[in-house]
Structure 1
Amino acid sequence: MRSVSPLFDEVIEWLVGRKLASVIKLASRHALRRVFDKEQTKEIRSIASVVKIRTHLLISLNLFLDLMLGCTSGAALVRPEPGDRDGQDTKDRLMHFRTLEWGMDALRDLLVIVEFVDSSKGDTDEVVARSVSYAGFVGCLTGVRKDLSVSLNFRPTHDCTTASLRRHQLSVLLGRREAVPSILRRILLDHDIPSNSLKVPVYNGPHINNSEQRPLSITGVAKKFISMPTSPCYITLCNGFKVVSVLKDLCTGKAKTSSLFQVQCNHDPDHGTCCGPKANNSPPEATQAMIIGEDDWLGESEGRKRVLEEKWLQHMAAVTKEAGEELKPCINSLCLDADTRADLGINIKVRGVDEAILQQWINTYPTTNECTHFACIMDPAYGTIRWIARGRN
């Protein structure tokens, strides 16, 4: 935990340069006193007291951690392994896959799986949610509970004005607005979840005809999130039957859904060029650009997305061949922004990809690479983490 201190120094020097770094560090001791959520502020102060590090360093970790996150998030229809060790059913369902890349190797040793229990019910053994996180970080980057999994991806560009974004970021630093990981924690713990009556204008992609599907609330969660002022980002929500990807700007956002497959990395996809990076007037955030460069960042993100899309389309080709159909080329080749089955002119039941194969997909370069801290597969239908692995150093 004490490794957070030099990490904070390193981030500040990247952001403002060495000349101003000492001034910023001094000011942060007085400015970084709390986060927006009172409960999370208490947790941060308690952790800082126990591990004997300054509170403002832990607060900075919680506010800056979603900078420099390179991630792959998505969901795929999966056929679970037979003889499930947890006694769960083996019906095909969506599972949420996730890798997290960070430019700071020092954080690898801080990786933890946090289990949340509801002490108000008196049963401290019942886990209500799980989060893959870093020691000292109280927000949520990756988490799952029954009927909902969530993950956060960094978005290096923005559509709003730079001035309005900086005002928002200053409000977050001063604890006047909520950081995205803090919002996602409340969503994960079912705090302030919007009602099912809320609707969001989303693209309703391909769906599975399944009479056992339950009413969904993740589109309502997406609408609530879109309506809140937040830093630009991508989030992925899944409940085992449907996945929703949200592209979020400061005060606006877009969402699309699918019941078969979705993947999001760290660029705004341009569906006129097979989901490559979309041209944007705003450059990537300065910190990220300084570390790996704008072109490298977008190129790596596009490559990670394209590889997984190719693998899913190969699976679709095998499924259609088994059904005696022919996989016709999509208009944009690898673009999965449209209803895949409708584009192909077929009407077949799509079987899930084997769970072991999905693990191979996620654990293979470039999806897992030298910057990957961890990779995991979550099962929101049961609120469990099916598989998790540390990244390669």
Structure 2
Amino acid sequence: MSHTSRGCEPPIFQIDLSLPPSSRYAALATQYQQQLRELMPLFSWLLEGVGVPLSLLPVVQRMAKLLLRRVHSYEENLELRGISKAAQVPMYLLVVFNVVLDLLMGCTSGAVRTLEKTQPPHESKMLHFRTLDWDMDSLRKVVVQLEFVRSASKTPQKVLARSITYVGFVGVLTGVRCGLSMSLNFRPQHNAFTHMENIRFLSHNLLVLLGKRQSISSLLRSCLFSDHQGGLGSPLSLDYFAETLPSTASTAAYLVFSDGQSAMAIEKDRISGMVRRSRSFIVMTNHDLDPTPGMRETKSSNSTSIQSIISESVDRRGCMVEKWEIKVREEHAKRVIAAEASSPASLLSSARPRTRSKTKRQLAACTDRSIPIAQNSTERHDVFTDGHEVEERVSLTKSELRRWLAAWPTTNECTHFSAILDPTEGTVVWARQYLEPLKPPNGAQDRGTLATTFNEGAR
């Protein structure tokens, strides 16, 4: 598959929440039995990645079979047991898959205001975009889009929520329902400034692995299906998540939410978090926007490995931010030209025809004018704050957003899937699954991945 390939739409399956938990994923797991069994070397691959000697792998695997018997959620645990039985995959491997996968992903997540050319300005809304990258190619075969329904309800065909995920994974990495969308990004550092804080962080992750605490993807699943009415009526608000999630115990991660009119990113640590909000554009990859000196590395003691991850993340985010900056400056330029055109001097010369080349020169000159970058704050616009009115007037069309998302290196040789979610409607607007690694365009180098860099650093 070449870089110019548009990929394919991931297959769609319905998950009936009215069924007993152990039966919900049985049909899906049976259909993907062969692909799931091909994931069984995953655990050994992860152990090698953290530097476990080959001679100790059998011992560690036997210990894992004894200790990794469940996840924290009773309901999710029953679902995994049903998958284990249907696919004939050991339970401990599914536990590892569900609590470790979200610690090794490279991602780009964000939201941007959109408006089609035929729509009036008041119909603009924010769409949630996301790519998910990892180096384990066998996972590409198990990417699916899930639609959650309740057959025993008054509206048995109504899709309550949607998720783009991997078969065998019951948490939420990318999800949407009417009024709410969300995505999860790996964070390679955490805010542990003392030896004891680092111990607490590592202890939390160990307790998650042992099923004593909730994983971050399970926490997002709770957010997707929770509301104030108990029946998937109105979702919990972004304000609620901004108030409660930072102090909720979890591993380090970046969380992005949108309700269709605004978006929020949480730079999450174990029991704290930095919240950023925007009504126009926000994007997160795999690095802190305002890094604090002295932070600990989450997955590797090799500083070169972490710096490679961060450098690659900065590059991916920078590509999206640059596109947005150009878009904002173009809008600023149009306003300047319009103001000049309506000035008295301009009106006096309006009898002279305006050539297309002259208009282009004016637009280029205005676009070159700098617009100040936003200052750091807890809640802010992600790029510009010079006259919020200018930025909030800026919007993309869906086709523009698709092109932004599909451009290299936002989508790269490690991308398993890309998606655009519409939290206003609760739908997946666009999704692409990449069954083969994309090839870099001419002149570009392979991007590498978090997993590749992580493994090389550990070795």
Q: For residues 355 and 128 of structure 1, do their structure 2 counterparts lie closer, same or farther at Cα, with a shift above 3 Å needed?
A: same
Match of 1:309 among 321, 325, 335: 321
* In structure 2, C-alpha distance between the alignment counterparts of 1:258 and 1:26, rounded to whole Å: 48
Contact kept? 2:228, 2:236, Cα under 8 Å: no
Give the counterpart letter for 2:38 in structure 1. S
* In structure 2, C-alpha distance between the alignment counterparts of 1:304 and 1:371, rounded to whole Å: 13
Normalised TM-score (structure 1): 0.84
Contact kept? 2:113, 2:126, Cα under 8 Å: yes
Match of 2:115 among 79, 82, 107: 79
The percentage of aligned residue pairs carrying the same residue is 33
- Larger radius of gyration, structure 1 or 2? 2
Partner of 2:48: 13
User: What does 1:1-393 align with in structure 2 at a 5 Å threshold?
Assistant: 1-15=36-50, 16-80=52-116, 91-160=123-192, 161-190=197-226, 217-270=237-290, 279-286=293-300, 293-324=305-336, 328-332=369-373, 338-339=380-381, 343-345=385-387, 347-348=389-390, 350-391=393-434, 393=437
Report the secondary structure of 1:269's partner residue.
coil
* In structure 2, C-alpha distance between the alignment counterparts of 1:340 and 1:148, rounded to whole Å: 20
| Deviations, residues 250-289 of structure 1 (Å, cap 9, x unaligned) | 111111111000000100113xxxxxx66443134129x6
Task: Name stretches of at least 5 consecutive residues in structure 1 with no aligned partner.
Answer: 84-88, 195-213, 271-276
Q: For residues 186 and 324 of structure 1, do their structure 2 counterparts lie closer, same or farther at Cα, with a shift above 3 Å needed?
A: same
With 128-137 and 13-22 compared, the bigger mean Cα shift is at 13-22
With 10-19 and 370-379 compared, the bigger mean Cα shift is at 10-19
Q: For residues 330 and 262 of structure 1, do their structure 2 counterparts lie closer, same or farther at Cα, with a shift above 3 Å needed?
A: same
* In structure 1, C-alpha distance between the alignment counterparts of 2:300 and 2:388, rounded to whole Å: 46
With 243-252 and 216-225 compared, the bigger mean Cα shift is at 216-225
Give the counterpart letter for 2:59 in structure 1. V
* In structure 2, C-alpha distance between the alignment counterparts of 1:104 and 1:334, rounded to whole Å: 38
More helix by share: 2
* In structure 2, C-alpha distance between the alignment counterparts of 1:255 and 1:189, rounded to whole Å: 22
| Deviations, residues 28-70 of structure 1 (Å, cap 9, x unaligned) | 1111111111010000000110111111111111011112100
Partner of 1:86: none
Q: CA deviation at 1:379?
A: 0.3
Q: For residues 112 and 81 of structure 1, do their structure 2 counterparts lie closer, same or farther at Cα, with a shift above 3 Å needed?
A: farther
| Deviations, residues 96-150 of structure 1 (Å, cap 9, x unaligned) | 0000001211110010111111244153321100000000000000000000000
Contact kept? 1:7, 1:106, Cα under 8 Å: no
Q: CA deviation at 1:341?
A: 9.5
| Deviations, residues 318-368 of structure 1 (Å, cap 9, x unaligned) | 111222276653455898985489842474460411111111000000100
More strand by share: 1
Task: Name stretches of at least 5 consecutive residues in structure 2 with no aligned partner.
Answer: 1-35, 338-365, 438-459
Contact kept? 2:71, 2:208, Cα under 8 Å: yes
Report the secondary structure of 1:234's partner residue.
strand
* In structure 2, C-alpha distance between the alignment counterparts of 1:81 and 1:3, rounded to whole Å: 46
* In structure 1, C-alpha distance between the alignment counterparts of 2:266 and 2:229, rounded to whole Å: 16
Report the secondary structure of 1:72's partner residue.
strand
* In structure 1, C-alpha distance between the alignment counterparts of 2:176 and 2:277, rounded to whole Å: 18
Q: For residues 102 and 82 of structure 1, do their structure 2 counterparts lie closer, same or farther at Cα, with a shift above 3 Å needed?
A: farther
Contact kept? 1:77, 1:351, Cα under 8 Å: yes
Q: For residues 343 and 5 of structure 1, do their structure 2 counterparts lie closer, same or farther at Cα, with a shift above 3 Å needed?
A: closer
Q: CA deviation at 1:81?
A: 7.0
Contact kept? 1:35, 1:59, Cα under 8 Å: yes
With 121-130 and 68-77 compared, the bigger mean Cα shift is at 121-130
Q: CA deviation at 1:226?
A: 1.4
Contact kept? 2:374, 2:385, Cα under 8 Å: no
Normalised TM-score (structure 2): 0.73
Contact kept? 1:4, 1:58, Cα under 8 Å: no
Q: CA deviation at 1:19?
A: 3.2
With 54-63 and 333-342 compared, the bigger mean Cα shift is at 333-342
Contact kept? 2:276, 2:382, Cα under 8 Å: no
Give the counterpart letter for 1:163 in structure 2. I
Give the counterpart letter for 2:254 in structure 1. Y
TM-align CA RMSD? 2.8
| Deviations, residues 169-200 of structure 1 (Å, cap 9, x unaligned) | 11111211100000101111126899xxxxxx
Report the secondary structure of 1:5's partner residue.
coil
